Amino acid sequence: MQEQGVLLHLEDEQAIARAVADACGLHARLVERHRFPDGELRLRLPPALPPRVVVWRGLHQPNEKLVELLLVARTARELGARDLTLVAPYLGYMRQDMAFRAGEAVSQRIVGGFLASLFDGLVTVDPHLHRVATLEQAVPVPRAVVLSGAPLLADHIARERGEVVLIGPDEESLQWVAAAARPHGWTHAVCRKTRQGDREVDIELPGLPVAGRPVVLIDDVASSGQTLVRAAQLLRQAGVRSLDVAVTHALLPDEALVRIRQAGVGAFWSTDAVAHPSNAVSIVPAVAGALRV
């Protein structure tokens, strides 16, 4: 097979994977997937592969997908791949970067090492890193590329709303919120969050005047939506003129989105790093640019 490179994908991510392949001159190829009655998987790759292979697999709902990556990567090597890059727009298992209680598995280190054993490169978008400074520390591959949805979302907000105040839901989001605000010269701040559990949070708004002003809550990930709901309630009580939400990764179910809108949120925008009805901003040009380098 005389090809510059191949991008392998599964059927559920076909549209975005093929868009990226077209944009960066790779040949998109489907990995056929069959599930046996007992739940095991049979995957079939193209029978011959060029030296350069890119694998597209978003790692939201990651458990079964990690098995898929094991099967795909090992088989791709057998079929001719010499350089394997994983594009995981959402990178799962990154939040547990230390053992908070004795005996806990440090999933970031374990899953990161697993991925590094399979791939030579990794491209991801806004990985959920806290106490780790670089992606290479979490996933020690020779080539690691981190893209950000912050500037993409900020440009969309500017087109839709013009001058706004950006608010992040917690202190950890400050650097990310600042990166979104900086190119447009927007006022920005972050809330103080105390988490009581997976679905219970306490929020304290920043000491920033927001009454009568358009505000956008911006974050990297929305999963349960509880943080956004509580922040939205407090901002509405503070008298904001309008309130919207922008996130890179929308992982939340439909009922969570309903609760967010009931809390007073107007528009809810996300990137297509994770497929969701709220997708409004495409990561395709950014990922294609990273793969062309």
Structure tokens at 116: 């590094």
Which residues have C-beta within 8 Å of that of residue 69, sequence separation ≥ 6?
Answer: 55, 57, 86, 115, 118
Q: Is 265 helix (H, G, I), strand (E, B) or coil?
A: coil
User: What is the rounded CA–CA span in Å between residue 264 and residue 229?
Assistant: 9
Q: How many other CB atoms are there within 10 angstroms of residue 250's CB atom?
A: 28
Q: How many other CB atoms are there within 10 angstroms of residue 110's CB atom?
A: 11
The residue from 29, 52, 57, 193 that is catalytic is 193
User: What is the rounded CA–CA span in Å between residue 275 and residue 269?
Assistant: 12
In the DSSP assignment, the letter for residue 26 is P
Tell me if residue 65 is catalytic. no
Residue for token pair 């509580």:
230
User: What is the rounded CA–CA span in Å between residue 103 and residue 253?
Assistant: 31
Angle between helices 14-24 and 284-292 (to 10 degrees): 50
Q: Is 270 helix (H, G, I), strand (E, B) or coil?
A: strand
> Which residues are marked as active site?
193
